[in-house]
Every structure is written in structure tokens, then in C-alpha cells.
Amino acid sequence: MSYTIELPLTEGQLTQYTLCEAQSLPASSVPFSSRVAFAAAHVVADPNVDHTDRSKPVQLDWDATLAYRRHLWSLGFAVAEAMDTAQRGMGLDWPASQALIRRSIAEARAVGGVVACGAGTDHLPPSPARTVAEVIAAYEEQIGYVEGLGGQVIMMASRALAACAKSPDDYARVYNHILAQVKQPVIIHWLGDMFDPQLAGYWGSRDLTAAMETCLAILQENASKIDGIKISLLDAQREIVMRRRLPANVKMYTGDDFNYPELILGDEQGYSHALLGIFDAIAPVAAAAFHALDAGDMQRYCALLEPTVALSRHIFQTPTYNYKTGIVFLAWLNNHQAQFKMVATQESARSVQHLANLFVLADKAGLLCDPALAVKRMQHYLNGMTA
């Protein structure tokens, strides 16, 4: 059965769009064998709470939030918890993150899922007046919380450190101090300023080549304490250059939501594992692609992921940090949550036209699991925007 809907794909004009025939993908909960793949998961806001009042505690729909993590685990993904995809630093504060981390680790144990959790310094307001000692103490608090629950740490980039560091030496001091203490190897998180403008100049320089040298020196010195590094710079060649220079035991986790298929596939000198926000949105197709890669079927791997790239580039278009809106919108279209609501009212961060085009791209990538419901919800959204 075909479904048709009128969409505002261009400004001031409606276009009639007929959906593609839904594709059937075999489901498998078998973990991927050729690559490690973390999906950074979004959170579901409590639809019964007024999220415009930022002075009130963040309220989540815990049933829907945890159900989505079970969905990701059921497809074979590991979950990267309390990251920027979960609106960390854009509505999800440290108290809410603690509750999310605690519940997610418990849920992972209950179902046999793999989870790693973001620990940073976001409870410490950034300021040039901060000291390196304060940044270290903030990291120690959050990492101690995650490790106290038995969780693996993703050491998130620090706005407070970016604001107060005077030189690359300050970054080395913080990371060397923290990594000397961790109980198990961590994943380092290098987030580009397109994802968070407050992280501009991370590692002590706005010159990415110089920044990479500082980062690599820290990785070399602490290699036994590092599982891998996730870089989100949207620069495939820079990632490849860094990947080839990593210590032998340190994984490269691509965070490149523009160029992930070829970076994961790799070349004659190696490949990237993955820790990606887009996996939240494209999980069923990406899972099938990873199983194809495990089976050595490169052609199917590429054929499955290629249509998702246009969707991902659309979701992550500038301003890139508003990508969470598209992630949550697609989750709502696919019935993973009852309403299109977000923490800190971020559902309004993208235009109607943007979300209409997202609908089309998701359909072309085979990511509308129930076309009839997706059309119904899209129409409901459009009616609300014109009411």
C-alpha cells in the first residue's frame, strides 16, 4: 500500500510526496564482531511537564527513555549514555545525568547490554577565573560517580577547561592526573566546536594540527588507561591521519556523522570503530550494515548505509548542535515516544521545512518503520504548526 502526504519541502510551497515501499530488515541481537559500535542515545522528556521553566528539575519519561536503550541493545549496539545526544549541556544537567547513568547501568546489567557513560565537568560553570585544580576536582566527582556504579567512563570534553586553560600544558596536567586514577580504560571525547562552540581551541590551540599533537602526546603517555578516542570534527582526512598515529591498543571511535560509512569500512592501514549520535536515528539500517560487514559483504554494507548519509548530513546541518531535534523527531515518527517533546523545549530548534525534508530523507533511507503511523504523525505535526 502506498501513502502520500503534502509537505512544505520548500518555503511557501507544498509538495505531494509518495512514500517508498517499506523495507524489511532481519533483526538480530548478536553483537557486532568486526567493529565496536556505540549508539549515543537521546532522552525522552516527560510530556506532562512544562519544560520552559529552567529553574525546575529536569523530568524524563523514564519508561520511554529506558525502552529506547533496550531497543538499541536488541539490535546489537552498545549505548553511549549521557552524552551530547542526550542533550548533555543543552538541557540535561548533572543531577538528571546522574539519575540517567544509574538507571541505564542497572538496565544494561538486567538485559546484558553494553553501556559507557559520559563524565565531564558540566556542574562547574565555565569561566576564565576557574583554576585547573577546580577542573580536576569536577572530573574526579563525575568519574567517581560512574566508576562507583561499575560503569565504563567516556571522559567528555570540558567547557570549564576550555575556558580557563592558559596553554596545552594545562590540558596535559588535567588529563594526566585523571587518567592516572581511573579504574578501567576510558574513552576520550574530542568534540569539535561545530557541536559545541564553547569547546573552540580545545587542547590549547585553534590550529587543529597543533591541537592533535597535544592530544596524541597525552594518549601516548597514558595509553594503558585509554580504550579509545572519539573525535567529532567532521573532517574525515584528519581522523584518518590521527587514526594511523594512535598507540597500538587505542581505538579510534569515529564521531563523524558526515563520513562514517567509509571511516568505519577503513582502508589498507586500518579502520575506525564508532561512537555516533546518528546511530540513534538509523539504528535498524546501521545494524543490518554491521552484520553485513561482519559477514564480509562490503557491497551490502555500502548499499545499506549510503542512503543514510544524506539524512545524517541534513540532521547535522548547521547549527550542528541542534541535531538532537531531528533525532527525537524521527524517534517520535517511529513510535518510540508518545509526543514530540524535548528537554528545554528543544523541539522548536529546527524549522518545519527542515523536519519535512527529514521525513523524506528518512523514508528514502528505509527508516520509517510504520509508514501509516509516520504519515499520521507528520500530518498531526503540520496541522499543529498551521493551527
Phi, psi of 239 (to 5 degrees): -65, -40
For the segment 91-115, the average pLDDT, to the nearest whole number, is: 97
pLDDT in tens, 186-219: 999 999 999 999 999 999 999 999 999 999 999 9
pLDDT greater than 60 at residue 387: no
- The 8-class DSSP code of residue 14 comes to E
Residue 310 CB coordination number (10 Å): 14
- Split at pLDDT 50, 70, 90, the class of 26 is confident
Residue 52: what pLDDT? 78
pLDDT greater than 60 at residue 295: yes
For the segment 229-246, the average pLDDT, to the nearest whole number, is: 98
Residue 387 CB coordination number (10 Å): 5
For the segment 347-352, the average pLDDT, to the nearest whole number, is: 97
SS3 sequence of 79-132: EEECCHHHCECCCECHHHHHHHHHHHHHHHHHHCCCEEEEECCCCCCCCCCCCH
For the segment 291-305, the average pLDDT, to the nearest whole number, is: 97
pTM for this model (two decimals): 0.96
Q: Please say whether the beta carbons of 242 and 212 come within 8 A.
A: yes
Pairing verdict, β 186-191 and 273-276:
unpaired
pLDDT in tens, 108-161: 999 999 999 999 999 999 999 999 999 999 999 999 999 999 999 999 999 999
The Cα 375–Cα 3 span in angstroms is: 7
Name the amino acid, one letter, at 384. G
Angle between helices 94-111 and 132-148 (to 10 degrees): 30
Task: Provide the greatest CA pair distance for the chain.
Answer: 63
Mean pLDDT over each residue of the chain, to the nearest integer:
96
Residue 244: what pLDDT? 98
The secondary structure element, H or E, covering residue 154 is strand 152-155
Residue 386: what pLDDT? 62
pLDDT in tens, 333-349: 999 999 999 999 999 99
